[in-house]
Amino acid sequence: MTSLICGSLAFDTIMLFGGRFSEALLADQLHKINVAFLVPEIRREFGGCAGNIAYNLKLLEGDPLIMATIGMDGDPYLERLDRLQISRRCVRTIESSYTAQAFITTDANSNQITAFHPGAMALSHHNKVTDAGPVKLAIVAPDGRDGMLQHAIDCVDLNIPFIFDPGQGLPMFSGPELEHFIELATYVAVNDYEAELLTERTKLPLEQIGKRVSALIVTRGEQGAEIYTDGKQIDIPCVTADKVVDPTGCGDAFRAGLLYGLTHGMDWTTTGRLASLMGAIKIAHEGGQNHHPSREEIEERFHKAFGYRF
């Protein structure tokens, strides 16, 4: 049961700032920011929403198919996908661009400031969903603006249900464009900040958005998540993490749980709980793809957290 993952492949440069952004940013001086953060720790990771989602879905023994663009410097990522046995037949190399790159600074409260160079991602619209072959479910995750629009339309034309996951790409779209995405999508998944921005731009309350799709999923960090479906709200608890190390990629791990649950016919409560567990497993490790639980270990942790097996 293949899940098509339309989104970015990127290299993440992650820096850890020991202080708090709130102590360095003065509220009355935000119009002229000139600050520097000392970051004694730095590392480079494989990332991008599509890469992170696919990695976590593979941990669940799902069948991810990445549709993305990568740059002239992307061979190490392609080799990694081969080692992980994740198909890259829908990954296009753009020789005239660098691979997308994120520069992420995380403070002591797990707040993040990110600078992002799109590179090859800006040409993601050159990929066509028709090239993917049989697909049970897709997700349109943060990617090039034109690519996100095109892939959503392609999914509808091919009768492929899909999750609209605007993520950090949400500010690229106007209210009418976001409303159009909602009309096209089968499901919508956002975090709490994105939910506020989505309602502000579309002028639609969450309950109304939930009525326009099969389900609206809103993640709220340590407060868990909410799923609006069939006129009701399902509250999903946050699974306690072994430790809180790095929030980078937690939302992508959550979405992998959604994809697995939906493609395997799970009810929304179980799907949401599995997604929550995947986020908790990820946050205990640095980077988006450095956790290595086996499928059996994931099953045992789910049973321990919820008292039954998925």
Q: Enter the tokens of residue 187.
A: 């499901």
Q: Please report, for the chain, how many H helices and E strands are present, in that order.
A: 10, 13
pLDDT band at 32 (very low <50, low <70, confident <90, very high): confident
Reported pTM: 0.91
Mean pLDDT for 29-41 is 80
Taking a C-beta distance cutoff of 8 angstroms, is the pair 128, 92 a contact? Answer: no
Domain ranges for the chain, please list them.
2-20+40-306
Report how far apart, in Å, the C-alpha atoms of 284 and of each of 51, 101, 102, 171 are: 19, 23, 21, 29
Q: What is the pLDDT of residues 50-73, one digit of tens each?
A: 999 999 999 999 999 999 999 999
Return the percentage of the chain with pLDDT > 90, whole number: 83
Q: Is the pLDDT of residue 306 over 80?
A: yes
Three-class SS of residue 91?
A: strand
Cα separation of 152 and 267, whole Å?
Answer: 25
Q: What is the pLDDT of residues 117-142, one digit of tens each?
A: 999 999 999 999 999 999 999 999 99
Cα separation of 262 and 172, whole Å?
Answer: 28
Mean pLDDT for 61-90 is 98
∠251-72-147 over CA atoms, to 5°? 50
In the CATH scheme, what is the homologous superfamily, with its name and number, of domain 2-20+40-306?
A: Ribokinase (3.40.1190.20)
As to burial, measured by CB atoms within 10 angstroms (0-12 exposed, 13-18 middle, 19+ buried), residue 283 is: buried
Lowest mean pLDDT among 17-21, 96-100, 137-141: 17-21
